[in-house]
Amino acid sequence: MSKELAQPGPDMPVIDETRLLEEFGGDQEILNELRDLFLEHVPPLYEDIALACTSADEEAFSTSIHSLKGACATYGAPRLAMVCKELETWARDGDMDSVAAAFEHLTREYQAVFDQIKGVGAGV
């Protein structure tokens, strides 16, 4: 029986641009560079996660989801980071059934980040 994924609340932003600007002293150039790095490095990482989930590879999934969680925390994607943290715990506990059952939610949060991140810093 798979576990229920804790859902981020509506008050938790997909991308916390305000926190990012504060954290980097309002330096839009740094924020833009981070965004570009995120857009470049995260999609291959997501593909690794999807493959590890499909093949029920606990170790590969745990390693890759941990990396994604860190990227999300650094870039200010708290909702996706929260989902990653929970799935990482389940994978480390060997509960790949729960991971697989929640993978669609991970994908939705991942897509939401990419839908918003492209506009971060645009026109500033």
> Is residue 12, in this structure, part of any structural domain at all?
no
Residue type, 110: Y
> Is residue 100, in this structure, part of any structural domain at all?
yes
pLDDT at 124: 42
pLDDT at 17: 82
pLDDT at 85: 96
Name which of 124, 121, 122, 106 is nearest 76 in CA terms: 121
> Is residue 86, in this structure, part of any structural domain at all?
yes
> Is residue 61, in this structure, part of any structural domain at all?
yes
> Is residue 59, in this structure, part of any structural domain at all?
yes
**What tens digit of pLDDT does each residue of 43-88 get?**
999 999 999 999 999 999 999 999 999 999 888 899 999 999 999 9
Structural domain of 34: 29-117
pLDDT at 2: 60
Token pair 């609340």 in the structure block, residue: 9
User: What CATH number is given to the structural domain containing 105?
Assistant: 1.20.120
Domain count, the chain: 1
pLDDT at 65: 97
> Is residue 13, in this structure, part of any structural domain at all?
no
Name which of 82, 43, 84 is nearest 62 in CA terms: 84
> Is residue 6, in this structure, part of any structural domain at all?
no
DSSP secondary structure letter of residue 12: S
pTM of the model: 0.86
Residues 6+ apart with CB under 8 A from 27: none
